[in-house]
Amino acid sequence: MIQDPNIIMAIDVGTSKVCTIIARREGGRRFSVLSHSVVPSQGLQKGIVTDISATQSVIRESATQAARQARATVNEAYVGVTGSHVNFENRLDKLDWAAKRGVITPADIRRVPTSVAAASAEPGRKVLHALPRNYILDGQSGIRNPLGMHTSQVKVETHVVTAAAMFIDKLNQAVRQAGVSVRELVLEPIASAEAVLTVEERESGVALVDIGGGTTDMVVYRQGTVLYNAALPIGGFQFTNDICLTYDTTYEAAEAVKLEHGTTDPASLGAIADVSLPLAGRVSNRTVALRDLSQLLRERAQELVRLIRIKLTESGYTEASEVRLVLTGGSASLPGLEDMIRRTITRHVRIGSPDDVPGIPDELRSPMFATSVGLLLWAIDRQGAPGHVNHSNNHEAEEQPNRGVSRFFKKMFPR
């Protein structure tokens, strides 16, 4: 059975968790969430699929749970991408094919991303997005929406996001083996931005920093459009791993103590001074001073803040104190981190959460789900809009548009 075009599935394949949301479009931008499912991840490191079989099994589990709850036939999904293999280029292209009759048509606008994506093609890379930032008509710059305008020469500035084909293929394969076809791949911080940034922030300039489990993803907006993106290979995993290695304890115990007592500010510690951590592979425990543990988290946080600062400079900010920063992702909740950034980078910092999105279940109203909710909003809002490239680059899918109708889901959830 073919998926109802009003049913949308978003799958955030994160390093720590896979989150699937299924929603029904109710007209315009309105939608109702039918179901969601969160499953701990497997087979990913630093945002990249390293074990296709493990990843497909958690995607399958999450998608199956969500589809069962939604009682919907689902076979294609919007899926997030991140990793340090992602790159970008801000380019200027002359569009000789546009405005053939002297006026810019809707067809011209629709063709821009595909045309720019084709011009940006490089061996071993796949274009995820080609987002128009500015049109230049007969030499006049600063035009955001040129539809219907008269001109004899069109140029466009775009933010083009590319990713290593090898990693995209692995992600595509994991999703496909889970019984779902990829409808669109979306850069994860761009999805998060959809869920947590205001229009005003994007207009006046803002950097979104999604501090997740495996990576810290950044995207900078200026004048309403994306100017810069980066992925740092540090996330909550590294904070937890530091505890594991330093105290020779299990990952589970380190994660639990981080979530319960973790802070980057030793001065803020409460009455509890020590915790007991199991020694990995042994039956004995060791007592650890929370002050020392906090110092460890502080040092990792300082390294992260330093890297964020370097990326902000790279993106064109000369004065870090002028930057408006919005932190999101699960690790943005690490106590003390927001304050550290406020003291060392900019006082214009806040934690962004998909709280204000109408119709989102309470469990998803947390920074950890910014990407998941954002993927859904991207799907609802941007489908067919400029900037849209068929970035799954799934040649099989192009040849057989309904190839993605999953036998698995048809069998499991017949209408």
Ligand X SMILES: Nc1ncnc2c1ncn2[C@@H]1O[C@H](COP(=O)(O)OP(=O)(O)OP(=O)(O)O)[C@@H](O)[C@H]1O
Q: Please work out the total of residues on this chain that contact ligand X, with binding judged by CB under 6 A.
A: 27
Q: What helix, strand, coil percent values describe the chain, rounded to 5?
A: 40, 30, 30
Q: Please, which residue, 180 or 297, has the CB nearer to ligand X?
A: 297
The least CB distance from residue 189 to ligand X, in Å, is 9
Q: Is 24 left (phi over 0), alpha (psi -120 to 50) or beta?
A: beta
Q: Which of 113, 235, 352, 354 binds ligand X (CB under 6 A)?
A: 235
Query: Closer CB to ligand X, residue 188 or residue 201?
Result: 188
191 binds ligand X (CB under 6 A): no
Binding segment (CB under 6 A) for ligand X, from list 27-35, 145-153, 327-335, 376-384: 327-335
Strand 140-143 with 125-137, pairing: antiparallel
CA neighbor of 216 nearest in space, from 127, 130, 341: 341
Residue whose CB is less far from Mg ion, 132 or 329: 329
Exactly one of 212, 352, 354, 404 binds ligand X (CB under 6 A); that residue is 212
Q: Which of 22, 20, 5 is nearest to 71 (CA)?
A: 22
Residue 353 interacts with ligand X (CB under 6 A): yes or no: no
Residue 215 touches which of ligand X, Mg ion, none (CB < 5 to 8 A by kind)? ligand X
Among 213, 336, 352, 354, binds ligand X (CB under 6 A): 213
Closest contact distance (angstroms) between CB of 227 and Mg ion is: 21
Helices 188-196 and 370-382 cross at an angle (nearest 10°) of 90
Options 146-154, 175-183, 211-219, 312-320: segment touching ligand X (CB under 6 A): 211-219
The C-alpha atoms of residue 257 and residue 178 are separated, in whole angstroms, by 33
Query: Would you say 237 or 247 has its CB closer to ligand X?
Result: 237
User: Which run of H or E residues covers position 203?
Assistant: helix 199-204
- Closest contact distance (angstroms) between CB of 318 and ligand X is 29
Element holding 26 (H helix, E strand)? strand 17-27
Return the exposure string of 145-176: e unless at least 16 CB atoms fall within 10 Å of the residue's CB, then b: ebeebebeebbbbbbbbbbbbebbebbbbbbb
What per-residue string of b and e applies to 251-287 under the rule 16 or more CB within 10 Å gives b?
A: eebbbbbbeebbbbebeebeeeeebebbeeeeeeeee
Q: Which is nearer to ligand X, 103 or 256 (CB)?
A: 256
Among 43, 132, 146, 236, binds ligand X (CB under 6 A): 236
Binding flag, residue 352, ligand X (CB under 6 A):
no
Binding interface with ligand X (CB under 6 A): 14-17, 41, 47, 82, 188, 212-215, 235-237, 240, 255, 258-259, 262, 329-331, 333-334, 368, 371
